[in-house]
Amino acid sequence: MLFIKGKYSSALEVLIEMKNQDVKFNKDTYVLAFAICYKLNSPESLKICSTLREEALIKGEVLSRRASCFAVALALNQNQVAKAISIFSQIMKQENIVCTNLNILIHIQANMLKTLIKILKDAAEGNLSKFVRRQEFSEEVLAKARKKVKDVPALLARFDEIYGKLHINGQVTTYTMDTLLCYTPGDRKSHMMLLNRRTVSHRTFQPLNQSLWAE
């Protein structure tokens, strides 16, 4: 499998050729396409991801939360914070660990530090029913948050206090943001298997859909 083997450029070529041949993309195909663009992490892959997303929305197709999360992460990695915020705001259900951590990254990169501290405080100190699962935060993401507030003594002291409570509550995971994004439950067939399907020719790739590469 091209994606699993890390051959992201080749995987993207296959997906674009599928698009050129008018192969209909389903929800899983969009997840795979956005995941590939996220892994490539370049201005060009962000442009392709944005074009695919816009085309899907124009057609009235519903993109999954997971696909949108890859798009948000890619935008953040390319320092396109406004785009990341726009995409994130359109995710209907944000109550999962990936969205929780993407929201923290958005606040970090947008310099919304006071709101960032409030979000973490509410997560650590909120009175929740034992039947309600507490929010979990990536150690990697929290390290970025601490680095961001370290030059503001008052915020740093508050952050360290909250960070300690999060650890005591068991709300900190060692999983990186990349691991959280790419995790696929073992009891579900991975949609990364899509690239194994011989639905396209294996001739030399030619970019037929010029809109994907348009300036």
Residue 176, in any domain of the structure: yes
Residue 16, in any domain of the structure: yes
**Helices 27-40 & 65-77, crossing angle to 10 degrees?**
20
Residue 212 has pLDDT above 50, yes or no: no
Q: Where are the alpha helices (DSSP H) in the chain?
A: 8-20, 27-40, 43-58, 65-77, 81-89, 97-109, 113-125, 139-149, 153-168, 177-182
Tokens of residue 96, six digits = 């999962």
Residue 104, in any domain of the structure: yes
pLDDT of residue 187: 37
Residue 66: CA count within 13 A, CB half-sphere: 18
Residue 132, in any domain of the structure: yes
- Count other Cβ atoms within 10 Å, centred on residue 90: 12
Rounded to an integer, what distance in angstroms lies between the CA atom of residue 175 and that of residue 141? 10
Residue 157, in any domain of the structure: yes
pLDDT of residue 40: 95
**Domain total in the chain:** 1
Residue 2, in any domain of the structure: no
Residue 2 has pLDDT above 70, yes or no: no
pLDDT of residue 5: 53
Tokens of residue 205, six digits = 């790739």
Range of the domain at 78: 8-212
What is the arithmetic mean of pLDDT over 148-176?
96
Q: In 3D, which of 157, 209, 197, 170 has the Cα closest to residue 11?
A: 197
Q: Is the dihedral of CA 64, 69, 70, 76 positive or negative?
A: positive
pLDDT of residue 207: 35
Residue 13 has pLDDT above 50, yes or no: yes
pLDDT of residue 8: 81
pLDDT band at 131 (very low <50, low <70, confident <90, very high): low
Residue 83 has pLDDT above 70, yes or no: yes
pLDDT of residue 113: 97
Task: Give the model confidence (pLDDT) of 15-35 as tens digits.
Answer: 888 888 888 888 999 999 999
Residue 130 has pLDDT above 80, yes or no: no
AA letter at 185: P
Q: In 3D, which of 74, 15, 63 has the Cα closest to residue 39?
A: 74
What pairs with residue 138 in β-bridges? 173
Residue 163 has pLDDT above 50, yes or no: yes
CA dihedral 80, 81, 83, 86 (to 10 degrees): 170
pLDDT of residue 204: 37
pLDDT of residue 195: 40
Residue 164 has pLDDT above 80, yes or no: yes
Rounded to an integer, what distance in angstroms lies between the CA atom of residue 132 and that of residue 110? 29
Rounded to an integer, what distance in angstroms lies between the CA atom of residue 47 and that of residue 44? 5
Look at residue 38 and give its three-state secondary structure.
helix
Residue 121, in any domain of the structure: yes
Task: Give the model confidence (pLDDT) of 197-211 as tens digits.
Answer: 433 333 333 333 333
Tokens of residue 200, six digits = 């396209």
What is the arithmetic mean of pLDDT over 166-177?
95
Residue 1, in any domain of the structure: no
Instruction: Look over the chain and give the mean of its residue pLDDT values, rounded to a whole number.
Output: 84
pLDDT of residue 4: 55
